[in-house]
Amino acid sequence: MVRNVGILLILSLLVGCSSMRSAGLGVVSPMFKEAMTGIESEGRWEHFKKATPANLTLVDGLLSVRPHDPSLLLAAIKGNAGYAFGVEETLYLEDKLNDEEESVHKDNAIAYYSKAVEYGLRFLNDNDLSLSDLQKAQKEAKGVRGLLASQLSNDETTLELMLFFAQSMGSLINMQRDNILLVAQLPIVKGMFDWVCDETPDIAHGTCSIFYGSYEAGRPATLGGNPTEGKRIFEELISKNPANWLARVSLMQYYSIPQYDEDSYYFHKKSMEKYVDILKESFYWSPGKEGDEHLKDPTLRLYQAIAIKRYEIIKKYEKDLF
């Protein structure tokens, strides 16, 4: 209820004069960040897919009034990154497994990630940093991690914003590996993750571990990757946070399938089959019904919904994968 009232208040502020709009939004923008965070409790993937674009459009409108508000920038970066990953890149996974040469979902994911990166660069500029500064820092002893530590605050908003900024840039690189100029930015992405994850390793339910696991497993040994280490990182997260089903699906997607490890794939498939039923049953009320252990944290629900959607796509093509 509070979140709904907050959003209505924000909408009403958009019709006032410029100075009043800006001042009013400065007061309520943290509330809007909280409202966007509430989206993480959405366990119905289809609902998330349909409802999120309108929210992202609203954030864009708010940023036109207060273009440098950190809370609004966080909402924009996290929202665009989340929709790109959770919807468009997830649907692109099916196109990829189906060997489609052209994919509108790939194009859409790139567009959403690009918008998140643009907002991230705006935040850097607001803090007297630029992409050029990060590129130069790679050649210095302190590196990207040291530069960020010296220039940015380590408050919750900044760390979360930089996490999803880094994730967006990393995903852009992963989806466009034929773009040499883009691939050259990978060490910057690694440095941003290193800084955020050093400060708060468990941020966003283990997103750091999912990145590092994918980073190692997604590159062959000849290019500096270590698939075995990637598998270990994923398994460690699964053990530490079994309710984050994305960790298990990511292991299947980035390790089991590329390494043709059929035993690993089917081992984790058994758990995913159980999770499909757990999530489905959670939508239906009945007297005396007790919630599953995996559903105790409502902020994991969207992660779980995305994991199930990705798993269902992978399962559809599993006979062609091994």
Residue 260: other Cβ atoms inside 10 A: 10
The answer to whether residues 166 and 255 belong to one domain is: no
pLDDT of residue 12 exceeding 50, the answer is: no
Asked whether residue 31 is assigned to any structural domain, the reply reads: no
Residue 194: CATH number of its domain: 1.25.40.920
The answer to whether residues 138 and 233 belong to one domain is: no
For residues 155, 156, 160, 165, the Cα torsion angle rounded to the nearest 10 degrees is -20
CB 33 within 8 A of CB 124: no
| Model pTM score | 0.91
Task: Pick the closest to residue 279 from 296, 254, 304 (CA basis).
Answer: 304
Of 177, 200, 223, the one marking the end of a domain is 200
pLDDT of residue 188 exceeding 90, the answer is: yes
Give the torsion sign (CA, 255, 259, 260, 261): negative
The answer to whether residues 106 and 135 belong to one domain is: yes
The answer to whether residues 232 and 249 belong to one domain is: yes
d(CA 244, CA 265): 17
Question: Of 8-22, 83-97, 198-212, 290-304, which range is least confident?
Answer: 8-22
**Buried/exposed 23-36: b ≥16 CB within 10 Å, e otherwise:** ebbeebbbbbbebb
The answer to whether residues 76 and 101 belong to one domain is: yes
The answer to whether residues 207 and 152 belong to one domain is: no
**Domain range for residue 168?**
38-200
Q: N- to C-terminal Cα distance for the chain? A: 49
Predicted pLDDT of residue 91: 98
The DSSP output letter for 290 is P
pLDDT of residue 13 exceeding 90, the answer is: no
